[in-house]
Structure 1
Amino acid sequence: MNNRSIIREQIRETGLKMLGSGLVVGTWGNISARVPGEDLIAITPSGMNYDVLQPEDIVLVALNGEVKEGERKPSIELPLHLAIYCARKDIQAVVHTHSAYATAMAAARKPIPGAVEDLVQIVGGDVRVCEYALPGTAQLGANAVKALEGRNAVLLPNHGMVGAGTNLDEALKICQVVEKSAKITILAQAVGGVVELSQEDTAAMRDFYLHKYGQR
């Protein structure tokens, strides 16, 4: 398979994992990834169930928003994904979910504090809430990019969350860790609230994740 086919299949598989993890229901949420060696991204189509999605349903789009390959209409959140890719050369994949606990924090417009070690390792600190804008707009993309500075996740107010990583596996893992951390934050309110990690400890753990974690 060529790179386009590989990325399309990986996005299809990620959609099934996202659905199976309970991070979305129905057709909501969306997934994209850069196509290696090309100025293209592959993105899920609008309004299609993940459990029936086929690789050919994944749309290939240039960074200027022009559809290059595919018969389907791309996700309404295409401007959000494109804004992140254009602003962050380090990002290779974006996963947008509507998971319950992260969305609860987003609806309350409260950041998820950097109080859990795996969160600060993979995200880089707390998960900020960006300024509100209507879904599907370029303004939402611009607002998300601003809140993503130095981070790999952002809460979209009254909407959901976005995880952005070096590949699809990492982007999905970010969403899972953010959802778990949002749940912990909400549960911790019953026992007095969370205690955030220091900036020094957060920086040390982020550096460990980036340079020493895993099989290198």
Structure 2
Amino acid sequence: MDSRKELVDCVKSLYGMGLTTPVSGNHSIRSGGSLMWITPSGVPRYRMRPADLVRVDLKTGKAIGRSKPSIELGMHRSIYNVRPDINAIVHVHSPFTIGVSISAKRFWHVIGEAKMVVGEPAVITNRPSGSAELAKAVSDEFKKGARAVVIKNHGVVAGGSDIDHARAIVESLEEWAKILTIAQVFGGVSSWLDDDG
């Protein structure tokens, strides 16, 4: 399957799951090592087509395409440039993940699959959307080895070896956050994986 179609299918699917709104979130894939395809600004997620994606030079930031690239273009470029092993980035506004990140609770390891897929998510304070400060803060965490960076009051960014891997990270993290939220409703976490106790 064409990698651009895979990216668009992922965008539509994550929209259908409620992890983005029609115009929120942004996603990209690396192409040929020095280029990436990134989602455009202003195109509803449920109507996006491969032809809407914007090709960008990772070194210069020059965009080629009829659409305007996502406002988070700089963040995607920064991540790819510090992590050559990352070939796809998914940035969503996962409600439960954001909710846990802005509460007083931490991401306790309570489910083995999430621990394996996500690892230890980095949680950082928000900076203005599209800013160089946000791009640096997020890419610095990826440079340290993070698979997922949760931006308080904003969203989550995941980097993977391909689009399926990046998507698995955000979905596993959201499932984890849902479990933590449910546990809180019933009085808080009382059982976690052994090395968190």
Q: Same fold (TM over 0.5)?
A: yes
| Aligned counterpart in structure 1 of residue 107 of structure 2, from 97, 109, 112 | 112
Correspondence for 2:136: 142
Q: Map of 1:54-93 to 2, 5 A cutoff?
A: 54-93=49-88
Correspondence for 2:175: 180
> How much identity, in percent, do the aligned residues show?
34
Task: Write the deviation string for residues 107-136 of structure 1: whole angstroms up to 9, x where unpaired.
Answer: 337542332211111112x32212331111
Correspondence for 1:203: none
TM-score relative to the length of structure 2: 0.89
Matched residues, number: 194
Task: Write the deviation string for residues 71-103 of structure 1: whole angstroms up to 9, x where unpaired.
Answer: 111001111111111111111100001121012
TM-score relative to the length of structure 1: 0.82
Distance 1:38 1:89, change over 3 A: closer
Correspondence for 1:209: none
**How far apart, CA to CA, are the structure 1 residues paired with 2:26 and 2:163?**
12
**How far apart, CA to CA, are the structure 2 residues paired with 1:119 and 1:158?**
22
Structure 1 runs of 4+ aligned residues shifted over 6 Å read none
**How far apart, CA to CA, are the structure 1 residues paired with 2:48 and 2:102?**
29
Structure 1 regions of 5+ residues with no counterpart? 201-216
Retained in 1: the 8 A contact 2:34–2:59? no
- Opposite residue 25 of structure 2, the aligned amino acid is G
SS in 1 for 2:153: coil
Correspondence for 1:99: 94
Distance 1:194 1:150, change over 3 A: farther
SS in 2 for 1:129: strand
Correspondence for 1:165: 160
Distance 1:54 1:109, change over 3 A: farther
Q: Map of 1:188-207 to 2, 5 A cutoff?
A: 188-189=183-184, 190-193=186-189, 195-199=191-195
Retained in 2: the 8 A contact 1:59–1:67? no
SS in 2 for 1:33: strand
